[in-house]
Structure 1
Protein backbone atom coordinates (compact mmCIF):
# COMPACT_ATOMS: atom_id res chain seq x y z
CA UNK A 1 0.00 0.00 0.00
CA UNK A 2 2.78 2.40 0.91
CA UNK A 3 4.46 1.62 -2.39
CA UNK A 4 1.21 2.52 -4.19
CA UNK A 5 0.82 5.86 -2.40
CA UNK A 6 4.50 6.62 -2.93
CA UNK A 7 3.91 6.15 -6.65
CA UNK A 8 0.98 8.54 -6.52
CA UNK A 9 3.09 11.23 -4.87
CA UNK A 10 6.36 10.55 -6.62
CA UNK A 11 5.49 10.16 -10.28
CA UNK A 12 3.50 12.87 -11.99
CA UNK A 13 2.55 12.36 -15.63
CA UNK A 14 1.77 15.38 -17.75
CA UNK A 15 -0.14 14.90 -20.97
CA UNK A 16 1.61 16.55 -23.85
CA UNK A 17 -1.18 18.55 -25.38
CA UNK A 18 -4.76 18.96 -24.24
CA UNK A 19 -7.28 17.84 -26.87
CA UNK A 20 -4.49 16.85 -29.26
CA UNK A 21 -5.42 17.25 -32.91
CA UNK A 22 -2.97 14.65 -34.12
CA UNK A 23 -0.77 11.74 -33.14
CA UNK A 24 2.36 13.87 -33.50
CA UNK A 25 1.22 15.84 -30.44
CA UNK A 26 1.04 12.82 -28.18
CA UNK A 27 4.62 12.70 -26.87
CA UNK A 28 4.73 12.80 -23.05
CA UNK A 29 6.41 15.54 -21.10
CA UNK A 30 9.38 14.66 -18.92
CA UNK A 31 7.68 15.54 -15.67
CA UNK A 32 10.50 15.09 -13.22
CA UNK A 33 13.31 16.61 -15.20
CA UNK A 34 12.92 20.17 -13.93
CA UNK A 35 11.26 19.60 -10.60
CA UNK A 36 11.64 22.50 -8.20
CA UNK A 37 13.39 22.18 -4.85
CA UNK A 38 11.08 20.37 -2.40
CA UNK A 39 9.29 22.74 -0.05
CA UNK A 40 7.17 22.24 3.02
CA UNK A 41 4.79 24.69 4.65
CA UNK A 42 5.33 25.87 8.22
CA UNK A 43 2.81 24.72 10.83
CA UNK A 44 2.71 24.64 14.65
CA UNK A 45 4.06 21.37 16.04
CA UNK A 46 1.30 18.88 16.82
CA UNK A 47 -1.35 20.80 14.88
CA UNK A 48 -3.59 19.04 12.33
CA UNK A 49 -1.74 20.94 9.57
CA UNK A 50 1.65 19.72 10.83
CA UNK A 51 0.40 16.15 11.14
CA UNK A 52 -0.99 16.25 7.59
CA UNK A 53 2.23 17.72 6.21
CA UNK A 54 4.38 15.20 8.04
CA UNK A 55 2.17 12.32 6.88
CA UNK A 56 2.79 13.26 3.26
CA UNK A 57 6.52 13.75 3.79
CA UNK A 58 6.74 10.38 5.55
CA UNK A 59 5.48 8.77 2.35
CA UNK A 60 7.80 10.76 0.09
CA UNK A 61 10.16 13.39 1.56
CA UNK A 62 11.06 14.62 -1.94
CA UNK A 63 7.68 16.13 -2.80
CA UNK A 64 6.87 19.82 -2.47
CA UNK A 65 4.04 20.51 -0.07
CA UNK A 66 2.62 23.77 -1.42
CA UNK A 67 -0.14 24.41 1.12
CA UNK A 68 -2.07 22.89 4.00
CA UNK A 69 -5.45 24.19 5.14
CA UNK A 70 -8.68 23.00 6.74
CA UNK A 71 -10.56 20.92 4.17
CA UNK A 72 -14.25 21.39 3.38
CA UNK A 73 -14.53 17.79 4.64
CA UNK A 74 -14.76 17.88 8.48
CA UNK A 75 -11.86 16.19 10.23
CA UNK A 76 -9.48 16.53 7.29
CA UNK A 77 -6.77 18.85 6.01
CA UNK A 78 -6.50 19.80 2.35
CA UNK A 79 -2.91 19.39 1.18
CA UNK A 80 -1.68 20.54 -2.22
CA UNK A 81 1.34 18.59 -3.42
CA UNK A 82 2.92 19.45 -6.78
CA UNK A 83 -0.39 20.44 -8.31
CA UNK A 84 -2.40 17.57 -6.78
CA UNK A 85 -5.01 17.87 -4.05
CA UNK A 86 -4.86 15.35 -1.20
CA UNK A 87 -7.01 15.04 1.90
CA UNK A 88 -5.32 13.94 5.13
CA UNK A 89 -7.15 13.18 8.38
CA UNK A 90 -6.38 15.56 11.23
CA UNK A 91 -4.46 12.83 13.05
CA UNK A 92 -2.27 12.25 9.95
CA UNK A 93 -3.32 8.62 9.55
CA UNK A 94 -5.51 8.58 6.44
CA UNK A 95 -4.72 10.03 3.03
CA UNK A 96 -7.23 10.37 0.19
CA UNK A 97 -6.53 11.52 -3.35
CA UNK A 98 -9.08 12.91 -5.78
CA UNK A 99 -11.77 15.56 -6.23
CA UNK A 100 -14.14 16.53 -3.45
CA UNK A 101 -17.50 17.25 -5.06
CA UNK A 102 -20.35 19.06 -3.29
CA UNK A 103 -23.53 17.42 -4.61
CA UNK A 104 -25.76 20.11 -3.15
CA UNK A 105 -23.80 23.02 -4.61
CA UNK A 106 -22.83 21.07 -7.74
CA UNK A 107 -19.20 22.13 -7.67
CA UNK A 108 -15.75 20.64 -7.26
CA UNK A 109 -14.47 21.95 -3.93
CA UNK A 110 -10.94 20.72 -4.56
CA UNK A 111 -10.47 23.37 -7.26
CA UNK A 112 -10.70 26.29 -4.82
CA UNK A 113 -7.36 25.54 -3.16
CA UNK A 114 -5.67 24.92 -6.50
CA UNK A 115 -7.01 28.23 -7.84
CA UNK A 116 -5.52 30.12 -4.91
CA UNK A 117 -2.20 28.35 -5.43
CA UNK A 118 -2.14 29.15 -9.16
CA UNK A 119 -3.02 32.77 -8.46
CA UNK A 120 -0.15 33.03 -5.98
CA UNK A 121 2.37 31.31 -8.24
CA UNK A 122 1.49 33.44 -11.27
CA UNK A 123 1.73 36.63 -9.24
CA UNK A 124 5.41 35.83 -8.79
CA UNK A 125 6.10 35.90 -12.56
CA UNK A 126 7.02 39.45 -13.64
CA UNK A 127 5.57 40.93 -16.79
CA UNK A 128 8.94 41.07 -18.53
CA UNK A 129 9.21 37.27 -18.32
CA UNK A 130 5.97 36.76 -20.25
CA UNK A 131 5.22 37.17 -23.93
CA UNK A 132 2.13 39.34 -24.08
CA UNK A 133 -0.39 39.86 -26.86
CA UNK A 134 -2.93 42.37 -25.59
CA UNK A 135 -5.43 44.97 -26.82
CA UNK A 136 -5.08 48.59 -25.71
CA UNK A 137 -7.55 48.27 -22.84
CA UNK A 138 -8.13 44.59 -22.06
CA UNK A 139 -11.29 43.56 -20.21
CA UNK A 140 -9.80 40.21 -19.26
CA UNK A 141 -6.33 38.74 -18.95
CA UNK A 142 -5.40 35.07 -19.05
CA UNK A 143 -2.07 33.36 -18.47
CA UNK A 144 -1.35 30.59 -20.96
CA UNK A 145 1.29 27.88 -20.52
CA UNK A 146 2.21 27.14 -24.12
CA UNK A 147 4.44 24.93 -26.24
CA UNK A 148 5.54 25.74 -29.78
CA UNK A 149 4.95 22.17 -30.98
CA UNK A 150 1.44 21.60 -29.57
CA UNK A 151 -1.29 21.65 -32.22
CA UNK A 152 -3.90 23.39 -30.10
CA UNK A 153 -1.30 25.86 -28.83
CA UNK A 154 -0.69 26.76 -32.45
CA UNK A 155 -4.41 27.08 -33.13
CA UNK A 156 -4.85 29.39 -30.15
CA UNK A 157 -1.98 31.56 -31.38
CA UNK A 158 -3.40 31.72 -34.89
CA UNK A 159 -6.48 33.30 -33.32
CA UNK A 160 -4.66 35.63 -30.92
CA UNK A 161 -5.89 38.71 -32.78
CA UNK A 162 -9.48 37.48 -32.34
CA UNK A 163 -8.98 37.07 -28.58
CA UNK A 164 -7.60 40.60 -28.49
CA UNK A 165 -10.59 41.92 -30.44
CA UNK A 166 -12.83 40.51 -27.72
CA UNK A 167 -10.85 42.35 -25.06
CA UNK A 168 -8.81 39.35 -23.90
CA UNK A 169 -5.08 39.74 -23.25
CA UNK A 170 -3.00 36.59 -23.74
CA UNK A 171 0.08 36.36 -21.52
CA UNK A 172 2.26 33.40 -22.47
CA UNK A 173 4.48 31.35 -20.20
CA UNK A 174 6.72 28.58 -21.52
CA UNK A 175 6.00 24.89 -21.08
CA UNK A 176 8.09 22.88 -23.58
CA UNK A 177 6.28 19.57 -23.32
CA UNK A 178 9.29 17.44 -24.27
CA UNK A 179 11.17 18.62 -21.21
CA UNK A 180 14.66 20.00 -20.48
CA UNK A 181 17.40 18.99 -22.87
CA UNK A 182 15.01 18.53 -25.79
CA UNK A 183 15.03 20.43 -29.09
CA UNK A 184 11.62 21.78 -28.09
CA UNK A 185 13.06 23.21 -24.87
CA UNK A 186 16.01 24.80 -26.68
CA UNK A 187 13.69 26.30 -29.29
CA UNK A 188 11.57 27.93 -26.61
CA UNK A 189 14.71 29.30 -24.96
CA UNK A 190 15.65 30.82 -28.33
CA UNK A 191 12.20 32.41 -28.52
CA UNK A 192 12.54 33.94 -25.05
CA UNK A 193 16.07 35.13 -25.92
CA UNK A 194 15.05 36.75 -29.21
CA UNK A 195 15.21 40.52 -29.61
CA UNK A 196 11.55 40.40 -30.66
CA UNK A 197 9.94 37.64 -28.61
CA UNK A 198 6.47 38.07 -30.08
CA UNK A 199 7.77 37.73 -33.63
CA UNK A 200 9.94 34.75 -32.67
CA UNK A 201 7.05 32.97 -30.94
CA UNK A 202 4.82 33.48 -33.96
CA UNK A 203 7.55 32.14 -36.24
CA UNK A 204 8.14 29.08 -34.06
CA UNK A 205 4.44 28.28 -33.85
CA UNK A 206 4.21 28.59 -37.64
CA UNK A 207 7.06 26.15 -38.18
CA UNK A 208 9.43 28.84 -39.44
CA UNK A 209 13.08 29.00 -38.42
CA UNK A 210 14.01 30.85 -35.26
CA UNK A 211 17.65 31.86 -34.87
CA UNK A 212 19.24 29.81 -32.06
CA UNK A 213 20.06 32.03 -29.10
CA UNK A 214 21.11 31.58 -25.50
CA UNK A 215 20.68 33.99 -22.62
CA UNK A 216 19.46 34.12 -19.04
CA UNK A 217 15.82 33.13 -19.52
CA UNK A 218 12.78 31.97 -17.51
CA UNK A 219 11.87 28.85 -19.53
CA UNK A 220 13.06 26.35 -16.91
CA UNK A 221 11.35 28.35 -14.15
CA UNK A 222 8.10 28.46 -16.12
CA UNK A 223 8.32 24.71 -16.71
CA UNK A 224 8.73 24.00 -13.00
CA UNK A 225 5.95 26.45 -12.14
CA UNK A 226 3.58 24.71 -14.55
CA UNK A 227 4.18 21.44 -12.71
CA UNK A 228 3.51 23.08 -9.35
CA UNK A 229 0.31 24.61 -10.73
CA UNK A 230 -1.05 21.19 -11.70
CA UNK A 231 -0.55 21.40 -15.45
CA UNK A 232 -2.10 18.42 -17.21
CA UNK A 233 -1.76 19.55 -20.83
CA UNK A 234 -1.02 22.48 -23.08
CA UNK A 235 -2.34 25.02 -23.65
CA UNK A 236 -3.17 25.55 -19.98
CA UNK A 237 -5.30 28.70 -19.73
CA UNK A 238 -5.63 30.30 -16.30
CA UNK A 239 -7.89 33.23 -15.40
CA UNK A 240 -6.74 35.96 -13.04
CA UNK A 241 -8.50 34.29 -10.11
CA UNK A 242 -6.53 31.09 -10.71
CA UNK A 243 -9.36 29.18 -12.39
CA UNK A 244 -8.10 26.70 -14.98
CA UNK A 245 -9.98 26.54 -18.27
CA UNK A 246 -10.61 23.14 -19.94
CA UNK A 247 -7.83 23.27 -22.52
CA UNK A 248 -8.06 25.19 -25.79
CA UNK A 249 -11.18 27.38 -26.12
CA UNK A 250 -12.16 29.39 -29.22
CA UNK A 251 -12.32 33.18 -28.70
CA UNK A 252 -16.08 33.45 -28.21
CA UNK A 253 -16.17 30.44 -25.89
CA UNK A 254 -13.33 31.78 -23.76
CA UNK A 255 -14.98 35.19 -23.56
CA UNK A 256 -18.24 33.60 -22.39
CA UNK A 257 -16.37 31.59 -19.75
CA UNK A 258 -14.57 34.68 -18.45
CA UNK A 259 -17.84 36.61 -18.36
CA UNK A 260 -19.43 33.81 -16.32
CA UNK A 261 -16.52 33.88 -13.87
CA UNK A 262 -16.84 37.64 -13.63
CA UNK A 263 -20.57 37.36 -12.98
CA UNK A 264 -20.07 34.67 -10.37
CA UNK A 265 -17.47 36.80 -8.58
CA UNK A 266 -19.81 39.81 -8.55
CA UNK A 267 -22.70 37.66 -7.33
CA UNK A 268 -20.57 36.14 -4.59
CA UNK A 269 -19.47 39.56 -3.37
CA UNK A 270 -23.04 40.70 -2.65
Structure 2
Protein backbone atom coordinates (compact mmCIF):
# COMPACT_ATOMS: atom_id res chain seq x y z
CA UNK A 1 0.00 0.00 0.00
CA UNK A 2 2.76 2.44 0.97
CA UNK A 3 4.48 2.17 -2.39
CA UNK A 4 1.32 3.44 -4.14
CA UNK A 5 1.09 6.37 -1.76
CA UNK A 6 4.73 7.22 -2.44
CA UNK A 7 4.08 7.01 -6.19
CA UNK A 8 1.21 9.45 -5.88
CA UNK A 9 3.28 11.74 -3.72
CA UNK A 10 5.69 11.91 -6.63
CA UNK A 11 2.97 13.60 -8.64
CA UNK A 12 3.17 16.52 -6.23
CA UNK A 13 6.97 16.90 -6.24
CA UNK A 14 6.91 20.13 -8.22
CA UNK A 15 4.64 21.73 -5.65
CA UNK A 16 6.88 20.68 -2.80
CA UNK A 17 9.91 22.13 -4.59
CA UNK A 18 8.06 25.35 -5.31
CA UNK A 19 7.20 25.78 -1.65
CA UNK A 20 10.55 24.90 -0.15
CA UNK A 21 13.25 25.74 -2.70
CA UNK A 22 13.97 29.37 -2.01
CA UNK A 23 12.37 32.02 0.18
CA UNK A 24 13.29 34.77 -2.27
CA UNK A 25 11.23 33.09 -4.98
CA UNK A 26 8.22 32.90 -2.71
CA UNK A 27 8.60 36.54 -1.72
CA UNK A 28 8.46 37.60 -5.37
CA UNK A 29 5.60 35.28 -6.25
CA UNK A 30 1.92 35.75 -5.64
CA UNK A 31 1.55 35.50 -1.83
CA UNK A 32 -1.30 33.05 -2.31
CA UNK A 33 0.59 30.90 -4.82
CA UNK A 34 1.88 28.41 -2.26
CA UNK A 35 -1.33 28.31 -0.25
CA UNK A 36 -4.01 27.79 -2.88
CA UNK A 37 -6.62 25.50 -1.39
CA UNK A 38 -9.49 25.49 -3.84
CA UNK A 39 -12.63 23.91 -2.48
CA UNK A 40 -11.87 24.70 1.16
CA UNK A 41 -15.15 26.59 1.49
CA UNK A 42 -17.17 23.61 0.26
CA UNK A 43 -19.59 22.17 2.81
CA UNK A 44 -18.28 19.08 4.63
CA UNK A 45 -19.32 15.88 2.94
CA UNK A 46 -19.74 17.38 -0.52
CA UNK A 47 -17.82 15.83 -3.43
CA UNK A 48 -15.54 18.89 -3.68
CA UNK A 49 -14.71 18.79 0.03
CA UNK A 50 -14.15 15.04 -0.06
CA UNK A 51 -11.79 15.39 -3.03
CA UNK A 52 -9.85 18.19 -1.38
CA UNK A 53 -9.51 16.28 1.88
CA UNK A 54 -8.37 13.15 0.05
CA UNK A 55 -5.52 15.01 -1.65
CA UNK A 56 -4.47 16.79 1.53
CA UNK A 57 -4.49 13.48 3.41
CA UNK A 58 -1.78 12.29 1.01
CA UNK A 59 0.27 15.48 1.15
CA UNK A 60 -0.91 18.31 3.37
CA UNK A 61 1.64 20.76 1.93
CA UNK A 62 0.39 20.89 -1.66
CA UNK A 63 -1.48 23.80 -3.19
CA UNK A 64 -4.74 22.77 -4.82
CA UNK A 65 -5.47 25.02 -7.78
CA UNK A 66 -9.02 23.93 -8.55
CA UNK A 67 -11.69 21.35 -7.78
CA UNK A 68 -14.59 20.82 -10.19
CA UNK A 69 -16.93 18.14 -11.48
CA UNK A 70 -14.96 15.83 -13.77
CA UNK A 71 -16.10 14.69 -17.21
CA UNK A 72 -15.98 11.22 -15.65
CA UNK A 73 -19.26 10.64 -13.77
CA UNK A 74 -18.82 10.16 -10.04
CA UNK A 75 -15.46 11.96 -9.89
CA UNK A 76 -14.04 15.39 -9.17
CA UNK A 77 -11.24 16.89 -11.27
CA UNK A 78 -8.48 18.29 -9.05
CA UNK A 79 -5.55 20.28 -10.42
CA UNK A 80 -2.40 20.18 -8.31
CA UNK A 81 0.95 21.59 -9.45
CA UNK A 82 -0.12 21.69 -13.07
CA UNK A 83 -1.26 18.06 -12.99
CA UNK A 84 -4.77 16.66 -13.18
CA UNK A 85 -6.06 14.08 -10.72
CA UNK A 86 -9.48 12.48 -10.55
CA UNK A 87 -10.95 11.80 -7.11
CA UNK A 88 -14.14 9.80 -6.52
CA UNK A 89 -16.95 11.83 -5.04
CA UNK A 90 -16.63 9.96 -1.74
CA UNK A 91 -12.90 10.79 -1.60
CA UNK A 92 -11.77 7.16 -1.54
CA UNK A 93 -10.21 6.68 -4.97
CA UNK A 94 -7.63 8.85 -6.73
CA UNK A 95 -6.77 8.39 -10.41
CA UNK A 96 -3.65 9.90 -11.92
CA UNK A 97 -3.26 10.42 -15.67
CA UNK A 98 -5.04 11.69 -18.77
CA UNK A 99 -8.74 11.17 -19.41
CA UNK A 100 -9.15 10.47 -23.12
CA UNK A 101 -12.50 10.58 -24.92
CA UNK A 102 -12.27 7.79 -27.51
CA UNK A 103 -15.36 9.04 -29.36
CA UNK A 104 -14.28 12.67 -29.66
CA UNK A 105 -10.58 11.74 -29.93
CA UNK A 106 -9.38 14.32 -27.41
CA UNK A 107 -7.71 14.53 -24.03
CA UNK A 108 -10.37 15.87 -21.67
CA UNK A 109 -7.85 16.56 -18.90
CA UNK A 110 -6.31 19.38 -20.97
CA UNK A 111 -9.44 21.54 -20.76
CA UNK A 112 -9.04 22.25 -17.05
CA UNK A 113 -5.31 22.85 -17.41
CA UNK A 114 -5.90 25.31 -20.25
CA UNK A 115 -8.33 27.30 -18.12
CA UNK A 116 -5.79 27.34 -15.27
CA UNK A 117 -2.95 28.52 -17.53
CA UNK A 118 -5.15 31.23 -19.04
CA UNK A 119 -6.11 32.49 -15.59
CA UNK A 120 -2.56 32.45 -14.25
CA UNK A 121 -1.14 34.23 -17.29
CA UNK A 122 -3.87 36.87 -17.21
CA UNK A 123 -2.50 37.92 -13.81
CA UNK A 124 0.97 38.73 -15.20
CA UNK A 125 1.21 42.43 -16.13
CA UNK A 126 2.57 43.19 -19.59
CA UNK A 127 5.36 45.29 -18.11
CA UNK A 128 6.70 42.13 -16.44
CA UNK A 129 7.07 40.40 -19.82
CA UNK A 130 9.62 40.90 -22.57
CA UNK A 131 7.58 41.42 -25.70
CA UNK A 132 8.54 41.00 -29.35
CA UNK A 133 5.49 41.85 -31.44
CA UNK A 134 4.49 43.10 -34.90
CA UNK A 135 2.46 46.29 -35.22
CA UNK A 136 -0.90 44.51 -35.35
CA UNK A 137 -0.49 40.94 -34.13
CA UNK A 138 -3.06 38.36 -35.15
CA UNK A 139 -1.99 35.96 -32.42
CA UNK A 140 -0.21 36.34 -29.09
CA UNK A 141 1.55 33.53 -27.29
CA UNK A 142 3.23 33.47 -23.89
CA UNK A 143 6.58 31.70 -23.85
CA UNK A 144 8.36 30.50 -20.70
CA UNK A 145 12.00 30.74 -21.69
CA UNK A 146 15.50 30.05 -20.41
CA UNK A 147 18.62 31.75 -21.77
CA UNK A 148 20.62 28.49 -21.71
CA UNK A 149 18.14 26.15 -23.44
CA UNK A 150 19.05 25.29 -27.04
CA UNK A 151 15.52 25.31 -28.41
CA UNK A 152 14.80 28.57 -26.57
CA UNK A 153 17.74 30.12 -28.39
CA UNK A 154 16.56 28.68 -31.69
CA UNK A 155 13.10 30.15 -31.19
CA UNK A 156 14.59 33.55 -30.45
CA UNK A 157 16.80 33.43 -33.54
CA UNK A 158 13.57 33.20 -35.55
CA UNK A 159 11.72 35.93 -33.65
CA UNK A 160 11.45 38.14 -36.76
CA UNK A 161 9.87 35.24 -38.67
CA UNK A 162 7.22 34.72 -35.99
CA UNK A 163 6.45 38.45 -36.01
CA UNK A 164 6.28 38.47 -39.82
CA UNK A 165 3.53 35.85 -39.57
CA UNK A 166 1.53 38.05 -37.20
CA UNK A 167 2.56 36.24 -34.01
CA UNK A 168 3.54 38.25 -30.94
CA UNK A 169 5.91 36.53 -28.52
CA UNK A 170 5.61 37.52 -24.86
CA UNK A 171 8.43 36.04 -22.79
CA UNK A 172 8.29 34.97 -19.16
CA UNK A 173 11.36 33.79 -17.28
CA UNK A 174 11.94 30.16 -16.38
CA UNK A 175 15.59 29.55 -15.45
CA UNK A 176 15.67 25.76 -15.45
CA UNK A 177 18.61 25.47 -13.06
CA UNK A 178 16.47 27.03 -10.35
CA UNK A 179 16.94 29.68 -7.66
CA UNK A 180 20.50 30.40 -6.60
CA UNK A 181 21.97 29.27 -9.94
CA UNK A 182 24.02 31.38 -12.35
CA UNK A 183 21.21 30.87 -14.86
CA UNK A 184 18.72 32.38 -12.44
CA UNK A 185 20.98 35.36 -11.69
CA UNK A 186 21.58 35.95 -15.40
CA UNK A 187 17.85 36.06 -16.08
CA UNK A 188 17.42 38.52 -13.22
CA UNK A 189 20.09 40.72 -14.86
CA UNK A 190 18.15 40.51 -18.13
CA UNK A 191 14.91 41.60 -16.47
CA UNK A 192 16.76 44.38 -14.62
CA UNK A 193 18.43 45.77 -17.75
CA UNK A 194 17.46 49.16 -19.13
CA UNK A 195 16.80 47.48 -22.49
CA UNK A 196 15.37 44.07 -21.66
CA UNK A 197 14.88 43.06 -25.28
CA UNK A 198 18.54 43.68 -26.12
CA UNK A 199 19.71 42.02 -22.90
CA UNK A 200 17.64 38.91 -23.61
CA UNK A 201 18.94 38.74 -27.17
CA UNK A 202 22.51 39.14 -25.92
CA UNK A 203 22.08 36.45 -23.27
CA UNK A 204 20.60 34.00 -25.75
CA UNK A 205 23.46 34.74 -28.16
CA UNK A 206 26.11 34.09 -25.53
CA UNK A 207 27.12 37.74 -25.25
CA UNK A 208 27.88 39.30 -21.89
CA UNK A 209 25.01 40.88 -19.97
CA UNK A 210 26.08 43.25 -17.17
CA UNK A 211 25.16 41.90 -13.75
CA UNK A 212 22.33 43.90 -12.21
CA UNK A 213 19.87 43.53 -9.37
CA UNK A 214 16.46 45.10 -8.89
CA UNK A 215 12.93 44.19 -7.92
CA UNK A 216 12.07 41.74 -10.69
CA UNK A 217 9.48 39.06 -11.56
CA UNK A 218 11.84 36.16 -12.33
CA UNK A 219 10.99 34.32 -9.11
CA UNK A 220 7.27 34.85 -9.65
CA UNK A 221 7.50 33.61 -13.24
CA UNK A 222 9.42 30.55 -12.08
CA UNK A 223 6.77 29.69 -9.48
CA UNK A 224 3.97 30.35 -11.98
CA UNK A 225 5.57 28.02 -14.51
CA UNK A 226 5.52 25.21 -11.96
CA UNK A 227 1.88 25.87 -11.15
CA UNK A 228 1.05 25.84 -14.87
CA UNK A 229 2.54 22.37 -15.32
CA UNK A 230 5.76 23.32 -17.08
CA UNK A 231 7.95 20.32 -17.79
CA UNK A 232 10.45 21.86 -20.22
CA UNK A 233 11.41 25.03 -22.05
CA UNK A 234 10.36 26.68 -24.21
CA UNK A 235 6.79 26.29 -23.03
CA UNK A 236 4.51 28.03 -25.55
CA UNK A 237 0.98 28.84 -24.38
CA UNK A 238 -1.72 30.12 -26.73
CA UNK A 239 -4.21 32.80 -25.75
CA UNK A 240 -6.80 30.21 -24.66
CA UNK A 241 -4.31 28.48 -22.38
CA UNK A 242 -3.49 25.61 -24.73
CA UNK A 243 0.08 24.36 -24.31
CA UNK A 244 1.98 23.74 -27.54
CA UNK A 245 4.30 20.72 -27.85
CA UNK A 246 7.58 22.50 -27.14
CA UNK A 247 9.50 24.44 -29.77
CA UNK A 248 7.61 24.93 -33.04
CA UNK A 249 9.01 26.59 -36.20
CA UNK A 250 7.15 29.76 -37.28
CA UNK A 251 5.02 28.09 -39.96
CA UNK A 252 4.09 25.19 -37.69
CA UNK A 253 3.12 27.50 -34.83
CA UNK A 254 1.03 29.66 -37.18
CA UNK A 255 -0.80 26.59 -38.48
CA UNK A 256 -1.46 25.38 -34.93
CA UNK A 257 -2.83 28.77 -33.87
CA UNK A 258 -5.04 28.90 -36.95
CA UNK A 259 -6.46 25.48 -36.06
CA UNK A 260 -7.16 26.63 -32.52
CA UNK A 261 -8.89 29.74 -33.81
CA UNK A 262 -11.07 27.63 -36.12
CA UNK A 263 -12.01 25.54 -33.08
CA UNK A 264 -12.91 28.65 -31.11
CA UNK A 265 -9.73 29.59 -29.25
CA UNK A 266 -6.06 30.49 -29.61
CA UNK A 267 -6.15 34.22 -30.43
CA UNK A 268 -5.94 37.05 -27.95
Q: Does the alignment reach a TM-score above 0.5? A: yes
Q: CA deviation at 1:8?
A: 2.3
Q: What is residue 37 of structure 1 aligned with on the other side?
A: 34
2:103, 2:131 → 1: CA distance?
40
Q: What is residue 226 of structure 1 aligned with on the other side?
A: 225
Structure 2 stretches lacking a partner, 5+ long: 27-32
Instruction: State the 4+ residue runs in structure 1 displaced beyond 6 angstroms.
Output: none
Secondary structure, aligned partner of 1:114: helix
Matches within 5 A, 1:136-175: 136-175=135-174
Q: What is residue 193 of structure 2 aligned with on the other side?
A: 194
User: Per-residue CA shift, 1:86-115, capped at 9, x if unaligned?
Assistant: 000000000000000000000000000000
Q: What is residue 29 of structure 2 aligned with on the other side?
A: none
Instruction: Flag the 1:74–1:167 CA change in 2: closer, same or farther, 3 A.
Output: same
Q: CA deviation at 1:80?
A: 0.1
Q: What is residue 22 of structure 1 aligned with on the other side?
A: none
Q: What is residue 205 of structure 1 aligned with on the other side?
A: 204
2:59 is aligned with 1:60:
yes
TM superposition score normalised by structure 2:
0.90
1:198, 1:52 → 2: CA distance?
44
Relative CO higher for 1 or 2, CA cutoff 8 Å, sep ≥ 6?
1
Q: What is residue 131 of structure 1 aligned with on the other side?
A: 130
Structure 1 stretches lacking a partner, 5+ long: 14-28
- How many pairs does the alignment contain? 251
Contact 2:68 2:77 in 1 (8 A): yes
User: Per-residue CA shift, 1:213-251, capped at 9, x if unaligned?
Assistant: 000000000000000000010000000000000000000
Q: CA deviation at 1:154?
A: 0.1
Secondary structure, aligned partner of 1:80: strand
What root-mean-square deviation, in Å, do the aligned CA atoms of Structure 1 and Structure 2 show?
A: 1.7
Q: Aligned to 1:8, which of 7, 10, 16?
A: 10
Q: CA deviation at 1:6?
A: 4.7
Q: CA deviation at 1:11?
A: 1.7
Q: CA deviation at 1:4?
A: 1.9
